[in-house]
Structure 1
């Protein structure tokens, strides 16, 4: 079974469990702010621009949440004279999750869009953008009733020629 088919089966199973949850299990919405290190690999190029990402979501039941991400670059990286930075990042996810006390482990599966800005040695600028199925995993640790910290890995894009993935860490606030 391919990884995408397995992930789809997990999401559908989680959705069925979430829909059977009692209304009392539904939590309030949350928002998070993360520092993100991207890794962009493309035919001999390997750069690591940095970004800030805002996450917002809502738990639909004990085992499932929906989440949206938006991000923008804060620091570029340079390779062979070209400066590369994240211009924008947008994604929506289903988030199957399991809670182990204050620790929450989750997967992410959804659709994302990236826009990467490139400024070459001659000062010519252009953007590269793409959208595709995106997935990842993470963990969140509650620090109290309202606040928590999280870390996650996301594979944003993968093609025969290039790959964009990220590691993020940040804080989350539940309303």
Structure 2
């Protein structure tokens, strides 16, 4: 039996026109499983309704508390649960931010740029600091040691400045 768009629509519980619309958006129609997987990944869930050809009864239309049984688990309920989990995650991030354990992304970028500026400026000063020291030296080993000492002192100074900046929450 050949798989048709009408059969896929019937299997997914939607009108055949939806299959045409989703097919234009890229839904595969070679199997019901692939179509269902594509649908769950690409189609926003809507309120559940009775499948095509089945009339809604009072039991189905009543809210779960009045119907006498729990609400069926549907894509809508999964989407609602995911949305609530995301909202809880955002609330937790806001709480951390208020507790100063998180920094605003703009402030963090500004702090990183300031740190790089300080590193660049300090490294650019190394030749100026080294010139008078190595001007009278002729031994390559002494020049190398002078360079290492100056560079170590510069990096230590940068490290100290960046630690102070980090303690201030990214402010210079």
Q: TM (normalized to structure 2)?
A: 0.18
Higher strand share: 1
Instruction: State the TM-score, normalized to the length of structure 1.
Output: 0.18
Where relative contact order (Cα < 8 A, 6+ residues apart) is larger, the structure is 1
Question: Which has more radius of gyration?
Answer: 2
